[in-house]
Structure 1
Amino acid sequence: MNGLRSLLWGRGVSALGDGLWFTIWALYLTRIAGLPAVTVGAGLAVASAAGMAAAVPLGALADRVGARPVLVTLTLVRAAAMAGYLAVDGTWSFLAVTVPFTALATGGTAVRTALVTGLVDGAGERMRVLAQQRVAQHVGYAAGAGLGALVLTADARWAYTLAIAVNAVSFLVLAGTTLLVPAPAAQPPRRPGIRLVLGDRPYLCVAAATAVLSLCWAMLSTGLPLWLSGWTHLPLGLGGIVVALGSAGIAVFQVPFARFGHTAARAARTAVASGVALAASCVLLATTSGGAGAGAVTAVVLAALLHVAGELGYVAAGWGLSVRLMREDAKGAYQGVSEAATATVQMVGPSVFTLTVGGLGPLGWLVVAGVFLAAVAPIPALTRWAVQTMERRTSRTPAGTPAA
């Protein structure tokens, strides 16, 4: 479908801008804009909390007025907010651009998923298209991070200004390509989508349990650097190699892995396997405490491979469960809940690894491994509950009418 191909290209371009921005934002805000680090941290926390609160209402709005216009509007607002970073000169101006830029990202992801699932029928095809979107995202992000490295090397105001302008333009490109996507057929729920999803306890439980697996991202961004620097004698550059392995694995295997989310039962089993792989990765990292030789490097690389498998499985399972278990007439609201749950875990993830791995060392890795296993253990039973609830709801609904 040409529209989906346009959306794919737009996602890749905007991801390039994201990779560029997230490589430079810390130095730009503290060195160029002159903001105290505590102000930046507090502002990002406020923006993240706003994103969690806005995800479900934005998804419900997409159900009412259409996913495409909502996604285009969110993207244009984020483009304006990114350009606004050029005028940041204090706390209030920083909050004025950071809150909309960061907060709308979570809702935007939910609306994008709702748009894709509204355009594509069939579980297999939906999983394939979502996987393609993620591959484009990671390829673009890697390219943007490379450009960001050049900006950091120049370390001049003009370079940061150019980078911000490029990112703002990338959002305009995404908005334009989204307009080329055909509008899905409208199927507004008879009741507000927020009420529907917040009353769907099985779905909420599945979303919450699955979201815990998103700790895998903080595991690399926070846990591994703390571990390498504080508890081993290994080179810090090994962390970069692990990230590169992860990016390569996602680019090559995310589309094939999407087939593990074709049914709810299969997605639930994949979530369990993902949790086991991530737990095994944690245990393997714990064995490298004090390590310095080839054996320790090999253990870290093997842990990285397990992490890649766990992340690929988690993403495929997350799509499979969130899409297969949602109500078709409230896609946006349901995807908003999934994204809000993930955003909550991502917000606390750095603190989790700082307290466990940074503070407890090897024992901390074992604690996190236990968290992964505890999170995935109930997912098959919760999924069966959700499927049974769906079947009962469907059997009570007259043919041709949306479920109430």
Structure 2
Amino acid sequence: MRSLLWGRGVSALGDGLWFTIWALYFTRILGLSPVTVGAGMAVASAVGMAAAVPLGAFADRAGTRSVLVVVTLVRAAAMAGYPAVRGTWSFLAVTILFTALATGGTAVRTALVTGLVADPACRMRVLAQQRVAQHVGYAVGAGLGALVLTADAPWAYTLAIAGNVVSFLVLAGTTLLVPAPAAVPARRSGARAVLGDRPYLCVAGVTAVLSLCWAMLSAGLPLWLSGSTRLPLGLGGIVVVLSSVGIAVFQVPFARFGRTTTRAARTAVVSGVLLAASCLLLATTSGGAGAGAVTVVVLAAVLHVVGELSYVAANWGLSVRLMREEAKGAYQGASEAATATVQMVGPGVFTLAIGGLGAWGWVLVAGVFLVAVAPIPRLARWAARTREPAAMLGDRAGDAS
């Protein structure tokens, strides 16, 4: 698992570097219009969501380790192809290949971890460690990206792309160092199994709504600070740093709240309540300025990071504990597709809500969080009743401990 941890950290460094520079690279260096870039990214994201379950199901049959290595190498090749882009169609081809495999790749990685680690508590801890490594890598990569943007020269962007390609190759190499998980005989197609599993899909769908918390920081807060308060815009950056530090320090301890289905469902409810409270606090800073308003924003940020930590732990607990062991990839693909769908519409939700309704937009989003989490415990119990008896007994034993 240490090999996967190092590989995830290095690849996240490349991700952080790329996510910091891609918008300017596409428009300033490749000369593409913002409309072309936006449309291309939207199409690639849609393809990724549609491909997540089939890719996960294929990984269940062909082996999660080998499929993850191939996906990583294909994404490396796609990244290396960006300097050769010469127009809309070549941009679309490379972007679909690179971006569309991201969602399915995340699902296959989770399936690989759960295939290597059987104990539920250890699974949650390893997944949390992976996320910590991811955020540390993102932070370092974003810092390197800032240097690239400062240079703002073709050679700097090309060097950054080469570095990202190397990060993918490191991830592929470290993945090859882990053993291949033992195959679990499947009774039917993994894709058909998960797409016919209504209880799991319902749980995954409503839990994914909590991933709006990410767009809340990236889109909602900057819009709010700039348009509805007299607070410094740099406060948004401080909040992001606070969130990143909180995740790095507390994600592993929070993983214990997702060890069982019942505990994960309760944690999801707590997450929704905390995120809603954070939204309502931000609504009170309308027109605000000075130390008092800053204090309220920081308090809202603290509630947000605890809500995010709770959401991630709950999502792991529900998506992993309720999946069919013989179709790990397909089930994780469905979970990731649900999350990717919410992430795709998230910026638009906050742009319309905060930009159009002001403080009432925060109230509306708070209501969305509360409505989403209300049925999760009941849906989780429904899903648990449809699992194998042995899994249900293990879940009750875990709750008792």
* TM-score, length basis structure 2: 0.97
Distance 2:388 2:373 in 1: 23
Quote the residue 2:32 is aligned against.
Answer: 35
Quote the residue 2:262 is aligned against.
Answer: 265
Q: Which amino acid aligns with 1:298?
A: T
Say whether residues 1:207 and 2:207 are aligned partners.
Answer: no
Q: Deviations over 1:18-39 (max 9, x none)?
A: 0000000000100011000000
Match of 1:108 among 102, 105, 108: 105
Q: Deviations over 1:46-73 (max 9, x none)?
A: 0000000000001000110100010000
Distance 1:392 1:157 in 2: 59
Say whether residues 1:156 and 2:153 are aligned partners.
Answer: yes
Q: Which amino acid aligns with 2:82?
A: Y
Q: Deviations over 1:113-148 (max 9, x none)?
A: 000000001110000000000000000000000000
Quote the residue 1:402 is aligned against.
Answer: none
Q: Deviations over 1:77-105 (max 9, x none)?
A: 00011111111121011111100111100
Distance 2:36 2:390 in 1: 48
Quote the residue 2:82 is aligned against.
Answer: 85
Summarize the alignment of residues 289-308 of structure 1 with structure 2, pairs less than 5 Å apart.
Answer: 289-308=286-305
Distance 1:32 1:262 in 2: 47
Quote the residue 1:350 is aligned against.
Answer: 347
Deviation at 1:180, TM superposition (A): 0.5
Distance 2:133 2:185 in 1: 30
Distance 1:229 1:207 in 2: 34
Distance 1:94 1:332 in 2: 29
* TM-score, length basis structure 1: 0.96
Secondary structure at 2:386 match in 1: helix
Secondary structure at 2:77 match in 1: helix
Q: Which amino acid aligns with 1:250?
A: I
Deviation at 1:190, TM superposition (A): 2.0
Q: Which amino acid aligns with 2:59?
A: A
Quote the residue 1:364 is aligned against.
Answer: 361
Match of 1:48 among 35, 45, 48: 45
Distance 2:206 2:390 in 1: 23
Say whether residues 1:287 and 2:284 are aligned partners.
Answer: yes
Distance 2:79 2:223 in 1: 30
Quote the residue 1:183 is aligned against.
Answer: 180
Q: Deviations over 1:256-310 (max 9, x none)?
A: 0000000000000000000000000000000000001111100100000000000
Say whether residues 1:243 and 2:240 are aligned partners.
Answer: yes
Say whether residues 1:309 and 2:306 are aligned partners.
Answer: yes
Quote the residue 1:331 is aligned against.
Answer: 328
Q: 1:64·1:188 contact (CA, 8 Å) conserved in 2?
A: no
Structure 1 unaligned residues grouped into runs of 5+: 396-404
Distance 2:44 2:366 in 1: 29
Distance 1:63 1:228 in 2: 46
Q: CA RMSD in A?
A: 1.0
Quote the residue 2:397 is aligned against.
Answer: none
Deviation at 1:394, TM superposition (A): 7.6
Structure 2 unaligned residues grouped into runs of 5+: 393-401
Say whether residues 1:14 and 2:11 are aligned partners.
Answer: yes
Match of 1:170 among 147, 167, 173: 167
Deviation at 1:392, TM superposition (A): 6.1
Quote the residue 1:375 is aligned against.
Answer: 372
Say whether residues 1:121 and 2:111 are aligned partners.
Answer: no
Number of residue equivalences: 392
